[in-house]
A = this chain, B = another copy of it.
Amino acid sequence: MTQERTGAGAAFAPHDHQRCQADALQVAEQRLAAKKARLTPVRRRTLELLLESHRAMGAYEVLERLAAEGYGSQPPVAYRALEFLVQHGLAHRLQRLNAFAACLHPECEHAPAFLICRVCSKLAEVPAGYLQDELGELSQDNGFTIERLTVEAVGLCAGCAKAGAA
């Protein structure tokens, strides 16, 4: 089961996205309930927006959608909801894109690496725990303690490669 969800190409490959979304939402509800954190309407809606596709969305893109649906229209509205989701492991921040994406396996694995297709902008999350470990060892030798690790790869996904995108 973990295997099923952590397959690197999951997001790029065709899959039952309805269920993919529903699962993620359910996990979110459970996790937040357990932590006594509140999945308020804006926060929930923000997560839903991120889950719509496997693309990363900019904060302002999220904001626009939220505003159109009657939520606040100022940047902090989006940034706060996104930050909340990130803090609770339900979304990730992509440094290379100044953007955010829903976490695809919030239940397990907490050291993801991202594969970002530069053509379709979809992204996949692959387990990177072992990368963290390896790098962790190497840096510990030098007295450096890793607290957070960002691994982001930009490239070309199978679909776009096949479609002949340069």
Spell out A's residues near B (CB within 8 Å).
7-9, 12-13, 95-96, 113, 115, 117-118, 124, 126, 128, 130-131, 134-135, 138-139, 141-159, 161
Contact = CB atoms under 8 A, between A and B. Distances in A.
A147 B155 CA distance: 5
The oligomer's copy count stands at 2
Contacts of A157: 143-144
Contacts of A144: 8-9, 12, 115, 117, 124, 153, 155-158
Interface residues of A, dominant DSSP: mixed
A150 B152 contact: yes
Closest A-B pairs by Cβ, 10 of them: A143-B158, A9-B142, A95-B95, A147-B155, A8-B142, A146-B155, A146-B153, A150-B152, A149-B153, A145-B155
Contacts of A158: 142-144
